[in-house]
Amino acid sequence: MRNFELETYFSKWEFTARHHMTASDVQSMSLNDLLAMAGTSAAESLDDLWLGYTETWGAPDLRAAIAGTYEGMQPDNILCFAGAEEGVYAAMRVLLGPDDHAIVVVPNYQAAETIPLSICAVTGVPLDATRDWRLDLEDVRRAIRPNTKLISINFPNNPTGAVMPREDYDALIALCREQDLYLFNDEVYRLLELDETKRLPQTADVYEKGLSLSVMSKAYGLPGLRIGWIASQDKEVLLKLERYKHYLSICNSAPSERLAVIALGVRDKILERNRALLRRNIAELDRFFADYPKLFEWRHPDGGCIAYPRYIGQGDVESFCHDLIEENGVLLLPASIYRSELMEAPTDRFRIGFGREKIEEGVTAFRDFLDRNHNRLAV
């Protein structure tokens, strides 16, 4: 498999940039903050925590807490992983073989494309930037082959922030059912919809061959826990995934599982905090981009905590992002990080995040760079 472009790029800049303006998660919190939110009994539950091996499936109370976030899932419909990435890897390895074919939306999180490509034939179907990143279901239908096994989607989408219209989502599920295909949905940004009326039902709840991927990292802002999961009605697939996990992490960290249970117990408080932060920050970005119409095309994202504006100034977006980090310490992700081996992907965009606190400081540094270089950058 090719290098993971995003992580390679981050390894150079993520922890040295003065203004991390492309973070893909919501502002995290300290252990003390979480325990204060949860109350005294939560802190006491850590005192007798057994630090031995845990169950491969995940702790029973954790699986019960996760199942409670779905409409129709029970604990035995949940398999926990060491973050979402392990879930993606295991699912693709278990569901796909050399003679199979998969369909993947583009752009997407790189692992959703790279891992299937290391296994079988893969076809990309584009999200159309001219139609608010809408997926054309006729493109999906045309991509289906006799050996197609799986369709992989990601909504709210990374990096565009797009959410499928409900009628398209229902039609895609109907198509998968008609063709007897698995539907794998990376739902890690669900619950962060800026317009809650656009929130989609979780795939595992509404489709018998659906797999819903989620994690504590994004909507909950707790990536340090490294707790992810897959939910599905298909218990046979979950059993195969559990057996495959024996060759990966085997089991999760006991402290992480306990802390995830605590966090899910106060999920409404955490989500209220995080959504309020996103509302404030997206308003800041709306004002910022409105001031530079000759440099950027800005689309208000539907959900998540990242967006994918278009750079329309002089020069290419790669040089623009490089100069911005070098001169003003503002980190963005240029379009090359989301290049696809399946089809042409946009080359004039960058990912910007709005889930962190103190976004005003990053915006101020961004403005300073643009104002100093306006004559060079403006068309």
pLDDT at residue number 35: 95
pLDDT at residue number 13: 65
pLDDT at residue number 10: 66
Each as own residue / partner, the long-range contacts of residues 295-302 (CB below 8 Å, 24 or more positions apart, any chain) are 295/370, 295/377, 295/378, 299/132, 299/133, 299/160, 299/161, 300/194, 301/156, 301/160, 301/161, 301/162, 301/194, 302/156, 302/161, 302/162, 302/163, 302/193, 302/194, 302/195, 302/198
pLDDT at residue number 9: 73
Q: What angle do CA 91, 224, 359 make, to 5 degrees?
A: 110
pLDDT at residue number 294: 95
Model pTM score: 0.95
pLDDT at residue number 14: 66
Question: Residues in the chain with pLDDT < 50?
Answer: none
**Domains of the chain from N-terminus onward:** 5-30+268-370 (3.90.1150.10), 51-266 (3.40.640.10)
pLDDT at residue number 70: 98
